[in-house]
Structure 1
């Protein structure tokens, strides 16, 4: 394997895009090479404070087809009504996640084909101060996704069309 030298781990930045906000997406050789959002749609930035966000891939086999079960785990630190609204959106949406890695600036994509939906959540006032952790993953019953990255031009488009929070 090449390109496996040690370095920074984790995500520098994560953008979530609601699948219903995607007008079109083009994937060529496992790379998102084009993406257009519907009018007025925005990518949602997720704070990657102290590795509070992670992306995981695992093999998934379904009826002889092999894909990846992808998951994204985020921690919502906001305990106000704004945080409750964020949690509600995560629990009821279907998303594509674009994660910019700390090392080399590579952009990993999860859910480009099948989307990601909520699969688990956890909040405990005694052990983690009541912060909510939510996992979005490949839907059950789907083959899963392919390993996918994102072109710098698509990343620039998403950054230019993200919510300013």
Structure 2
């Protein structure tokens, strides 16, 4: 029989409703993470290997999103996490970015517009490319890449990040 987790908090409405979407997203190459500390579903600390950076992703017109759905495997449940990123650069730099997204493994940190909570996707399992598409006739030639929890496992844990972890990543990011 699977271990059960008891519900230990009331489920309440926080009254902070309003804005939807992400205000900021940072992608980190999984291989660039030296250590990550998770306590009670919160990334409390993260350390990158020497010289590594987090990469800022423009959240223009909701061109970036994080979605989660349950994934069950042999009585153990986790979340299939999906991060969709639109690459607006159509130059060779954009092509290189798309290629890197298609062939890498990532952890995403997304700051919500509503309340500033920082969602984490791929914190334990990482995220890999699941799909990519580009259409010069309808999407302006922009490329949309979907990263998701790797197949074959139970999924990842629902996580948020502390402001300390977010501040560290922001101090070690590349923006343009």
**TM-score bin, normalised by smaller chain:** over 0.9
The Cα RMSD (Å) is 0.9
Corresponding position of 1:156: 167
Query: Residue 50 of structure 1 aligns to a residue in which SS?
Result: helix
Q: Distance in 2 between matches of 1:17 and 1:38?
A: 11
Counterparts in 2 of 1:124 and 1:7: CA distance versus 1, 3 Å: same
1:127 positional shift:
1.1
Instruction: Work out whether 1:101 is the aligned partner of 2:119.
Output: no
Q: Distance in 2 between matches of 1:77 and 1:164?
A: 14
Q: Distance in 2 between matches of 1:53 and 1:150?
A: 18
- Give me the TM-score of the superposition, normalised by structure 2: 0.92
Unmatched tracts of structure 2, length 5 or more: 1-11
| Runs of at least 4 residues off by over 3 Å | none
Corresponding position of 2:143: 132
Q: Distance in 2 between matches of 1:79 and 1:134?
A: 14
Matched residues, number:
165
Larger Rg: 2
Q: 1:145 aligns with which of 131, 156, 170?
A: 156
Query: Residue 96 of structure 1 aligns to a residue in which SS?
Result: strand
Unmatched tracts of structure 1, length 5 or more: none
